[in-house]
Amino acid sequence: MELQNAKRIFDDAIRNKYGVGAFNFVNLETLKSILESAEENKSPVIVQCSTGAIKYAGVDTLVAMCKSYAEKMTVPVCLNLDHGATFEDCKKCIDAGFTNVMIDASHLPYEENIEVTKRVVEYAHSKGVTVEAEIGVLAGVEDEVSATEDQAKYTDPKQAYEFVKATGVDSLAIAIGTSHGTVKFKGEAKLRFDILEEVEKLLPFFPIVLHGASSIPQDMVKLAEEYGATLSGSCGIPEEMLREACSHNVCKVNVDSDLRLSFTAGIRKSLAENPSNVDMRKYNLEGMKLIKQVVKHKMDNVFGSSNRVM
Ligand code: G3H
Ligand code: 13P
Ligand code: ZN
């Protein structure tokens, strides 16, 4: 089917209390692995590109690949711009065929965040595209934006409420203690579910987005390390916490690092075990198998999005 905006995908997720994975892709291999997982699991799915991925692969190529796979599929696929930094980033993607865009002006002063988000919402809605914005700042690197743990700011629920009302945005990313990358916690994992619950009270049935939601599966870390990777300190969001988040208003769960990790582990293993192989299809396939294993596990056992499309 045609690429979908996020409206119906979120409506169903929020009504039935499950989460939809929003998985980053940068090339055919990542995209194909994610989409095959969604189709086999009968799960709605969001695939997304950062501005870095767009620089790497080209916006038209990414859209064309996505459309051409999605039109042969039976589950809804939404194509999202991840962490658009400016109105121009968002407009470029909307014009190219993206069906959801994120404007991430969370690092700007609050009033400026409202202003640019409103501008994106107005343009996107005129083209049938839905919009995500962000309030609060996650620790770690968000493409062009980076913040240390001290600079990270939890979302203020009242401000989130005002922001949604002022901008007309379709979903909102909030900061409750997750962060981007493979090292999310120094000590014990801790998320501010009290903030999530407060936001849910003020904005009932409004779609909330969790960035930095990779679990960094330890079996993948071990496998990658067995074949030469150095990933000390790697630690993700426990699956139990993600399940709990999805039982609240979180209906978009952003995952990039887990896919990078599993793809790399598979390729490392394949290259080490087949030193005479120079056919990239063979080692790519080993990476793709592991991406599929990770994505399908999340859909089945963590987000609860499998078998939602009949
Ligand atoms: O939110 C950040 C994503 O993991 C994208 O990362 O900008 O390196 O493609 P990237
Ligand atoms: P991870 O680094 O936890 O995979 O987060 C990805 C993300 O939030 C993309 O926007
Ligand atoms: Zn993110």
Q: How far is the CA of 54 from the centre of ligand 1 (A)?
A: 11
> Is 254 near ligand 2, meaning CB less than 6 Å away?
yes
Atom of ligand 1 nearest to the CA of 26: 9
Q: What percent of the chain has pLDDT over 90?
A: 94
Q: Which residues sit opposite 130 in a β-bridge?
A: 100
Cβ atoms of 78 and 99 closer than 8 Å: yes
Q: What does the pLDDT average to over 166-180?
A: 97
For 225-272, write each residue's pLDDT tens digit: 999 999 999 999 999 999 999 999 999 999 999 999 999 999 999 999
For 29-79, write each residue's pLDDT tens digit: 999 999 999 999 999 999 999 999 999 999 999 999 999 999 999 999 999
**Nearest CA, atom 1, ligand 1:** 142
What pLDDT was estimated at residue 141? 46
The secondary structure of residue 77, as a DSSP letter, is: E
What pLDDT was estimated at residue 282? 98
199 has pLDDT over 60 = yes
Q: What does the pLDDT average to over 178-205?
A: 96
The catalytic residues are 82
Atom of ligand 2 nearest to the CA of 142: 10
Atom of ligand 2 nearest to the CA of 214: 3
148 has pLDDT over 80 = no
Q: How far is the CA of 9 from the centre of ligand 1 (A)?
A: 23
pLDDT band at 154; cut points 50, 70, 90? very high
What pLDDT was estimated at residue 153? 87
Instruction: Pick the ligand that lies closest to the CA of residue 141.
Output: 1
Look-up: residue for tokens 């343009």?
Answer: 123
Q: How far is the CA of 142 from the centre of ligand 1 (A)?
A: 6
**Nearest CA, atom 3, ligand 2:** 212
pLDDT band at 286; cut points 50, 70, 90? very high
User: Burial of 259 by CB count in 10 Å (0-12 exposed, 13-18 middle, 19+ buried)?
Assistant: buried
Q: What percent of the chain has pLDDT over 70?
A: 96
Q: Considering the chain, what is the average pLDDT of its residues?
A: 96
Helical segments of the chain, H only:
7-15, 28-41, 51-57, 59-70, 87-96, 110-126, 157-167, 193-202, 218-226, 239-247, 257-273, 280-297
